[in-house]
């Protein structure tokens, strides 16, 4: 187990990141916000959505294995019941950095899937959002990090 701040810094040190659950109808969808911010901050980011070929004007990939050159880390932004299959795909591809997105609600966190991933050598952050930590954070997300740390939606350790 490591403190969340260290795990977040390690996750965000990787430059090639996939975000699952990026919607073709962007709005305020959490995965889309993560996808956009990572791009704005200079990350090489890939949208994963098996139901469309394009999101936010970029190519969307049906799964992680379809991303040319692969990725180093994955943000899970889908329903929690899909987390296990994403972690299994990550394991098969040698991806060891995974973040299950969670804001005010349940988000994408599956504790069972997180434990499975950890048991298979992955660092799994089960809660919070990459945008709550530097170098991707803004004042609003830093405030959310503080608030959601109080109710457990941002874990203290991985």
User: Is 158 contained in some domain?
Assistant: no
In a domain, residue 156? The reply is no
Each residue's pLDDT, cut to its tens digit, for the chain (158 residues) gives 799 999 999 999 999 999 999 998 876 668 999 999 999 999 999 999 999 999 989 999 999 999 999 999 999 999 999 999 999 999 999 999 999 999 777 789 999 999 999 999 999 999 999 999 999 999 999 998 998 888 888 888 88
CATH of the domain at 40: 3.40.50.720
Q: What angle do CA 103, 108, 112 make, to 5 degrees?
A: 125
Q: What is the pTM of this model?
A: 0.94
> What whole-number distance in Å separates Cα of residue 78 and Cα of residue 56?
17
Supply the range of the domain harboring residue 118.
4-151
Res 5: pLDDT:
94
- Say how many domains are in the chain: 1
N-to-C CA span, the chain: 5
């Amino acid at each position: 187990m490591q403190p969340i701040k260290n795990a977040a810094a390690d996750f965000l040190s990787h430059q090639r990141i996939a975000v699952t659950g990026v919607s073709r109808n962007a709005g305020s969808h959490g995965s889309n916000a993560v996808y956009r911010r990572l791009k704005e901050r200079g990350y090489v980011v890939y949208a994963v959505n098996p139901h469309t070929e394009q999101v936010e004007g970029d190519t969307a990939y049906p799964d992680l294995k379809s991303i040319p050159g692969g990725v180093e880390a994955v943000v899970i932004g889908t329903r929690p019941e899909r987390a296990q299959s994403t972690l299994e795909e990550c394991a098969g591809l040698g991806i060891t950095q995974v973040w299950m997105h969670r804001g005010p609600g349940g988000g994408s966190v599956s504790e069972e899937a997180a434990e499975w991933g950890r048991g298979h050598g992955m660092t799994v952050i089960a809660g919070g959002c990459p945008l709550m930590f530097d170098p991707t954070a803004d004042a609003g997300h830093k405030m959310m990090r503080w608030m959601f740390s109080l109710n457990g939606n941002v874990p203290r350790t991985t």
